[in-house]
Amino acid sequence: MASAWALKDVAVSYLVNKSTPLLFRASFVKGQRTLMLVFWPRVCEQYTDINVKMFNVYTGELIYESSNIRDNFELIDITTNESTMYLIEIINDNGVGDQVPLVIFTSLELKEASIPGVSLLPYVENITMTDSESKVVKFGIRNTGSYPVFNVTIDVHTSSSFINIVNIGHGNFPKLNPKETLNFSLFIQPVDIGEASINITCMYHFLDLSFTYSKTVTVSVVDDDTKPPEIKVLEVQTPSVLEILLLGKKFMVKFKVTDESGVAEVYVRYKISKGEYSDWLICKKISENIYVFEISASTLKSHLGEKVYIQFRAIDMDNDRPGDNLEVTSQEYSFQLSTLSYEYLILASIIVVIALIVALRRLRR
Ligand SMILES: [Ca+2]
Ligand SMILES: [Ca+2]
Ligand SMILES: [Ca+2]
């Protein structure tokens, strides 16, 4: 009974807000009887509803709860059956006044306690990923307060169409001790390039209170290949007139097409002189990255001495999403086709002369 009569020794006053409970911690020994008297003023003929609860700080167990009597005082008379630390929660539940002044008479040594908090630890602040690879990103929920929190649940959500996310770690933690961090991981799958945000909401319980903590994490999805293919002409064969006429040799351009993602398609189109360009024609691949374009001798015969114009077009094989591949159209290349030159005329004249000589000799015999 000694503690009861010690009430007069201590009178402390506090303000209790409507939204935030007032919290105290106090140590009790087993079998200790404690009296606490809480007073608050009566306002406008109405009573403010102040409620007091006590919890075991380590287990969260409720060991005392105010009787629901409308008055302007509360007498707590409790004998604890365990030596431990208790949290005393004083709540301004409803009624009049946002802030209510309280006077507490108690023999206990009350220490003000803080509302616990949790925070989200992104181990990577800004998540950047390419469109070709899914990623698993680790997060941590940390209890930054001084008391355990209970029934921690994590909800992840994105309203962005650029990514899909799945929580592949734990979603629920029954208890999170002070300074403890529990990890969970998100599987992030890119859908399109752009900036996406992930809202992570953590709900947890402390005493009989529930709290929500939210954080937004940004994810940038970038293209893993932003360069179109490169086209390089390696070799050009312009046959001479004799080669065209006698050997049927073709005009040929050999070129190389390269791309970090690989080359999907290569096309060529051409025109002779000032004519119209042909359609885009699929190009012949002769070996890895090497392509050729040819014009037959029969076509060349009717265009001797004219100019050939050629353009190449190539598309890369990057296809992580629609519209991912890039294409390039080369510059216009021009090549002069051989003509019947002076040397050929001389050569042809010599052949004619020899032919005549041979014919004359035959006639003389
Ligand atoms: Ca890509
Ligand atoms: Ca590319
Ligand atoms: Ca691309």
Taking the centre of ligand 1 as the mean of its atom positions, its distance from the CA of residue 190, in whole angstroms, is 10
Distance from the alpha carbon of residue 127 to the mean position of ligand 1, in angstroms: 17
Which ligand neighbours the alpha carbon of 130 most closely?
1
From the CA of 165, how far away is ligand 2's center (Å)?
27
- β-strand 62-65 against 327-329: which pairing, if any? unpaired
CA of 255 to the centre of ligand 3 (A): 23
Average of per-residue pLDDT values in the chain = 88
Give distance in angstroms: CA of 125 to centre of ligand 3.
Answer: 25
User: The tokens 């051409």 sit on which residue?
Assistant: 270
Amino acid at 155: D
Q: Enumerate residues 6+ apart whose C-beta is below 8 A from 33.
A: 1, 3, 4, 77, 78, 79
d(CA 118, CA 211): 9
Report how far ligand 1's centroid is from the alpha carbon of 131 (Å): 5
Q: How far is the CA of 315 from the centre of ligand 2 (A)?
A: 8
Residues within 5 A (CB) of ion ligand 1: 131, 223-225, 318, 320, 324
pLDDT of residue 4: 47
What would the two tokens of residue 171 be?
Answer: 């979603």
d(CA 194, ligand 2 centre) in Å: 19
According to CATH, the topology of domain 118-222 is Immunoglobulin-like (2.60.40)
Q: Which stretch of 75-79, 104-108, 175-179, 306-310 has the lowest confidence by average pLDDT? A: 104-108
Write 119-122 long-range contacts (CB < 8 A, 24+): 119/144, 119/213, 119/215, 120/200, 120/202, 120/213, 120/215, 120/217, 121/181, 122/215, 122/217
pLDDT for 266-295, tens place per residue?
Answer: 999 999 988 899 999 999 899 999 999 999
Equal fold, 2-112 vs 230-344:
no
Length of the chain, in residues = 365
Dist. CA 313 → ligand 2 center (Å): 13
Ligand nearest to the CA of 224: 1
Q: Does domain 2-112 sit in CATH 3.90.1200.10? A: no
Looking at the CA of 192, name the nearest ligand.
1
Spell out the domain ranges in the chain. Answer: 2-112, 118-222, 230-344
Taking the centre of ligand 1 as the mean of its atom positions, its distance from the CA of residue 9, in whole angstroms, is: 75
pLDDT band at 348 (very low <50, low <70, confident <90, very high): confident
* pLDDT higher than 50, residue 108: yes
Supply the DSSP symbol for 114.
Answer: P
Which ligand has its closest atom nearest to the C-alpha of 230?
Answer: 2
Minimum-distance ligand to the CA of 319?
1
Average pLDDT over residues 180-209: 92
Instruction: Output the CA 323–ligand 3 centroid distance in Å.
Output: 8
Q: Are 217 and 197 in contact (CB under 8 A)?
A: yes
The yes-or-no verdict on residue 5 having pLDDT over 50 is no
Per-residue model confidence (pLDDT) at position 115 = 82
Is the Cβ–Cβ distance between 300 and 251 less than 8 Å? yes
Instruction: Select 230-344's CATH number: 2.130.10.10, 3.40.50.1100, 2.60.40.10, 3.40.309.10.
Output: 2.60.40.10
